[in-house]
Amino acid sequence: MKKDLRPLGLYIHIPFCRCKCAYCDFYSLPGQDESRMDAYLDALTQHLREVAPRAAAYEVDTVYFGGGTPSIFGVERLKKLLKTVRKSYRLSKHAEVTLEANPESARDVKALKSLRRAGFNRISLGVQSMDDEMLRQLGRVHSAEDVRAAVQAIRKAGIQNLSLDLMYALPGQTIEHWQQTLVDTIALQPEHLSCYALKIEEGTPFAARQDSLDLADDDTQADMYLTAVKTLAQAGYAQYEISNFSREGFHSRHNAKYWQLQEYAGFGCGAHSDFGDVRYAYERDLESYLRGELRLSESNHIPARERTTEYLMLGLRTVRGISKGEFESISRFPFSCIEPVLLRCRDAGYAVEENGRWHLTPEGFLVSNAIIGEVTDAALSEQRRRADAIARGSFCPV
């Protein structure tokens, strides 16, 4: 990266899907035709160009096409978008360029090769399960065989950075089923894996029939999670975040920006950004977006120094963890205000301190919400104590 330039990630949201999965609450629209996709390409292109002047002092080192299902947007449209990024932004030669894809729409070697030549160098494939019955229940339109065919095509096309997304705690899934999915997935030799527990989100078909779903209880879910951590570690995948595992050198550089409070700019309806001290998101509304109206659903100015809670919440999700120096420079509070909580967690086997950084253990990740709550409460109570002392005129920074 050139001196004086700051790193920036771009996120481009493609909201189209072939059909809606039973658990999905992402902004994704099934059954859209080619003309709508063309119109969306035009709107995205205009949006990318409009924001570009604000990014003049940045170098783009990651681009992430997420969805939805970006792989059904079509090779030519995807290439045009990346070309617009190249023309309008300073794109690093070594940028990580990720395309989310589903197995049924990522089996054409010629198309994948064309994407690779255009600059796409990482694919994140939505596998979810290697069990056809589980896939059917989830409302996925692919089979385990489609996954194998897609992985083969991606490799033939010369793409050497492949991530596979999996889900566990599925209705009726046993630990043995889950273990088998892990084994079948490891056999495909991806560089990266994400494992998420199924969450029943409001408004989804699964939520409507939640009572009739045979869902895993908390203990089984915890066992599935620890099974994943152990099985993947044995296969050479290091855990670097609660839900993410990779071979050395293949962690997701784009997702790391979210966890390390780095800047990213989002494009497309529903896309989120954290850019220039402002966190903002565009409305989940395709119609207004196609009319070129960039309506915001939220916008908050958050200077770096007001990001203590975010720093703790996001940092403690990762194996990189948090450090005294970073905490004190962001919060301006002494680390001693949160240290007692971390020491208690260490004694209980939930946290460790290594090379000056604190991070949670796999057992700690299982109860991370409670731990993060305690740590942030400790920081917030220090903040209140200081505010009270300032109000009384007795504050003395030590």
Point out which residues bind ligand SF4 (CB under 6 A): 17, 20-21, 24, 26, 28, 67-69, 102, 126
DSSP string over 6-62:
EEEEEEEEE-EESS--TT--SS-EES--HHHHHHHHHHHHHHHHHHGGGGTTEEEEE
Q: How far is the CB of 102 from ligand SF4 (least distance, A)?
A: 6
**Of the two residues 22 and 115, which places its CB atom closer to ligand SF4 in the complex?**
22
Alpha carbons 316 and 398: distance in angstroms, whole number: 26
Q: How far is the CB of 279 from ligand SF4 (least distance, A)?
A: 23
**Of the two residues 163 and 308, which places its CB atom closer to ligand SF4 in the complex?**
163
Is 361:367 a contact under the CB 8 Å cutoff?
no
Is 162:190 a contact under the CB 8 Å cutoff?
yes
Alpha carbons 289 and 281: distance in angstroms, whole number: 13
Q: How far is the CB of 129 from ligand SF4 (least distance, A)?
A: 13
**Of the two residues 142 and 307, which places its CB atom closer to ligand SF4 in the complex?**
142
Q: How far is the CB of 388 from ligand SF4 (least distance, A)?
A: 47
Q: How far is the CB of 397 from ligand SF4 (least distance, A)?
A: 49
Is 22:52 a contact under the CB 8 Å cutoff?
no
Classify strands 162-168 and 192-197 as parallel, antiparallel or unpaired: parallel
**Of the two residues 126 and 321, which places its CB atom closer to ligand SF4 in the complex?**
126
**Of the two residues 72 and 360, which places its CB atom closer to ligand SF4 in the complex?**
72
Q: How far is the CB of 145 from ligand SF4 (least distance, A)?
A: 18
Q: How far is the CB of 130 from ligand SF4 (least distance, A)?
A: 17
**Of the two residues 68 and 364, which places its CB atom closer to ligand SF4 in the complex?**
68
Ramachandran quadrant class, 4 (left: phi over 0; alpha: psi -120 to 50; beta: rest): left
In the numeric block, the tokens 């083969």 are attached to 152
Alpha carbons 348 and 79: distance in angstroms, whole number: 51
Q: Is the bond into 68 cis (omega within 30 degrees of 0)?
A: yes
Alpha carbons 237 and 231: distance in angstroms, whole number: 9
**Of the two residues 161 and 204, which places its CB atom closer to ligand SF4 in the complex?**
204
The arrangement of strands across the sheet holding 91-101 comes to: 238-241, 244-246, 192-197, 162-168, 122-128, 91-101, 58-67, 6-14, 264-267, 272-275, 278-282, 296-301
**Of the two residues 69 and 318, which places its CB atom closer to ligand SF4 in the complex?**
69
Is 238:246 a contact under the CB 8 Å cutoff?
yes
Alpha carbons 272 and 282: distance in angstroms, whole number: 7
Q: How far is the CB of 121 from ligand SF4 (least distance, A)?
A: 22
Q: How far is the CB of 349 from ligand SF4 (least distance, A)?
A: 35
Alpha carbons 204 and 23: distance in angstroms, whole number: 6
**Of the two residues 198 and 342, which places its CB atom closer to ligand SF4 in the complex?**
198
Helix (H, G, I), strand (E, B) or coil at 71: helix
**Of the two residues 26 and 335, which places its CB atom closer to ligand SF4 in the complex?**
26
Q: How far is the CB of 100 from ligand SF4 (least distance, A)?
A: 8
Element (H, E) at 200: none
